[in-house]
Structure 1
Amino acid sequence: LADAGPAAGRLRRWLAGRERRERALAALAEIGRRTERAAADGVPALLAQASVDLLRVPADETAAWVDFELRSAEYHGLLAEITEPSGGGADPAAARGFLPEALAERVLAQALDDTYRRVSLRGYQSFGARFALAQRRVILGDEMGLGKTIQALAALAHLAAQGHRHFLVVCPAGVLVNWTREIEARSTLRAVALHGPGRHDAFADWRGEGGVAVTTFQALTGFPELAAGELGMFVVDEAHLVKNPQARRSLAVAAWAARCAYVLFLTGTPMENRVSEFRSLVRILRPEAASGIGEVDTVAGSRAFRRAVAPAYLRRNQRDVLAELPGLQWTDEWEELSAADREAYRAAVRAGNFMAMRRAAYARPEESAKLARLLELVAEAAANGLKVVVFSAFREVLAVVEEALGRPAREGGGRLFGPISGSVPPARRQRLVDGFVAAAGHAVLLAQIEAGGIGINLQAASVVILCEPQVKPTMEQQAVARAHRMGQVRAVRVHRLLATDGVDQRMLEVLDRKARLFDAYARRSVVAESAPEAVDVSDTSLARRIVEDEQARLGALG
């Protein structure tokens, strides 16, 4: 600013002399570059938010507790990273998977560089990432909801800080989009999707530029393997899918794993009395150790089994490592529409039917990508003995889900309740809820979101599935609050099923813009707390605008 002073007026420039004038113009250009960068980085909005925060009356005890309940996972994650870097907690031994002391000490000695990481780690998550790095070729089998993806990203970020440039994640097609979004949100690493018609061009780009490539089991078989040592880490999500050593995808995974020093298998499915399958996974990672595992006739969660497989396997359960008030984990499950889904969606767009567009992903149940993912989530919850609530705005969608779940739910030992809708009398509705709560072990309750999202308590459920995004954000929040409330003894996991390149994405874009503006200038103000409609988008213009935009987009695509 001092050097730029002479540029403030003609007279000052003329009196400054040639050298000072040149210095002033250079300083002025630098100021321009810095202000442009500040604007691009969102500094004006941050300063505005700081002004709002400074002017706001200090929160009282009740408001502070509400904020903690809403963001307890963030609070505990940051506190754990500061106070429990060694993976401690309510039960340090449980956080370390009951590993032998010597092995646990070796893991704790492993450094963990956070240069490329954007998320705080719980103590047990830090330990899991260190375990993957210290042991190099392992299976992380934590119970679902404990953040296996975040632990894998922490390990990738560390290796990137050490100079590695290429990483590869293999996963089912249904979670590929989630992986790329998690990489972008939780790290500064470059995500490259190797999927679809352009996957080979994307592979060539990743080979040259580096980053974290994400692909499917099917696509993996079509890519040339990298040279030994070129791949920094190879991550296999839902690794139980390669338990059959003769399957084509298992052979492809084994070939890639053989050429990489760091290999991480992720699976939340308990391996009860399946020692032979577990041995198949270990054989890919550590062939010399597989024969020494033996026929351990106990469940995967027992301490005896953990000690037997400790060098290659780490598993923690929620009850062992989450001692605080249960948190809320929200996951957007992005799915690519199948050909049948797209056909039904295009028909709804041509008809200009907004509601039909929203439920088009379930119009052809046998080929529905969303329904396939919903069945996977319910099956995983059943394997862990968890109760599930499925919400949708549409009775037709719930009927499709009921038909698809009825038979598997019975076979899995669980029970299916509902659907609860506006036409169900209150007494019967309560009987359905009571039966769901009283059911032993896994069970599923279906509910129309306006009927099931208000006025009933569902603390028995720890998994919530939203079949589609809602027009009013508060409607989703109220539905989730049926399960995530005082009295809940498990962390609640919310899965919102979304389709890429369609009405779901357009709805979230519109809602997100309004939410960002509101949050930037009046976060949790008295008006916002007392008037949910301040951030809801319920006017008919939203539907009309989205329909018109989608008609134009699909028309341009032919």
Structure 2
Amino acid sequence: MTPKPTQLSGAKFLASRPYALLADLPRVGKTGSTIIAADYVMAETILVVTTASGRGVWKRGFPAWSAYDRSVQVMMGGAKLDPKIPSAIVSWNGISQAALRVELLKRKWDLVVPDEVHFAKAFSAKRTQALYGTLIDDGAVLNKTSALTNTTERMWPLSGTPLPNSPADAYPMLRALFRERLTTNFGPTDVTEQSKFIERYCKMRPMKIGHGFMSRYIDVFVEGRNLEELNARIAGIFLQRTQRDVGILEPDYETMPLIAPKALPPELRDQKRGAQILEAARTGDRSSLEMHMGPLRRLTGEIKAGLVVEAISEELDGALGKVVIAYWHKDVGALLMDGFAKYGVTGIDGSTPPKRRAENEQRFLHDKKCRVFLAQIQAAGEAIDLSSASNLVFAESSFVPKDMAQMAMRVCNHTQATKPLVRVATLEGSIDDSLQSILLRKWSAIREVLKS
């Protein structure tokens, strides 16, 4: 593969530092940059921690981007390290399994690459502890004895969304890899302890969850504070480029209003419930949003599925070449699969095995008769290329802007000649119609912040 200039500069950035975050946005080329950088530092033993979907991407990536004939082992199940194969790829779930992690701890790694490192955003998660270690005394001490950080002196985390929820998500990486950044050498106060870091950079509010004697309160992020100070702490340890920096055309975004041929069920027009749902969406109260909208979500999706099939089939019968349809519920995916069967359809959901994922991706990219790709948002939002289509329709959406942004970028690539179009289907006259408008505005605001 011929690297882009941004990939070469990204590789140079990584190779010049033992610890660094490459935060390029999706489709910019983090995988290639990292493998080229591994060549620069002549790393022999390399461990990549990635998503289930990313395992195949990295396995193909090493021969595509490395100047060396690298052998790579994909670690799954009860696999043992092959002493003849110097490098390995493992999933985030894999490092959470004690037996597999013990196997990985046997080797000293020249380089560890935590891909999609936002999966390790909280020390309460087993995968974070497996990567970085376990907090003691609120972070005054970090026990790395059984963590992968104890096996290497070079780690390059990767993520286009390193702070998926709040500034608090930065703490685990900073505490494990950049301890000095939390001291008074880089700010007016020492924020080594987790509670002090969160208090300094996050405004939180208590929120009640559950009912009766089972109820409890949790702290919910409201907004960031002292962010200029936090920016100063992290300056120089990360590099981020956007799709525009590498010549990728950014999508246009719009809603796709759908009109049902008969009256909608009354629960989808309930004004009282609708007011609760819209207030939760406006305030970012995801728990309340799930509680009030959850029961209606599948019903809404099933109604929209039929309308999306009708609308997009008309376009496929016209000038539309290929299209990606994103959805949330498996039942909705099944309806879409039946509806688009005559157009040649493939896709990925949570049950698709890794080998089949790669096959389905390649089929959609290269088979002209395969015109529809069905993408379950959480399963297909990362590490795949669907850029043979320049149209994506969200038949259902996620309440998390990050999920939507990552899914949208699947149809973007530097080879894309047509400006992509991303449409969010809405059910006119329903609670869903107003909800999607709010979520789309929030999503748009986040994109504007990232641009600036």
TM-score by length of 2: 0.46
The structure showing larger relative contact order (alpha-carbon pairs under 8 Å, at least 6 residues apart) is: 2
Q: Which has the higher helix share?
A: 1
- Whose Rg is larger? 1
Q: Which has the higher strand share?
A: 2
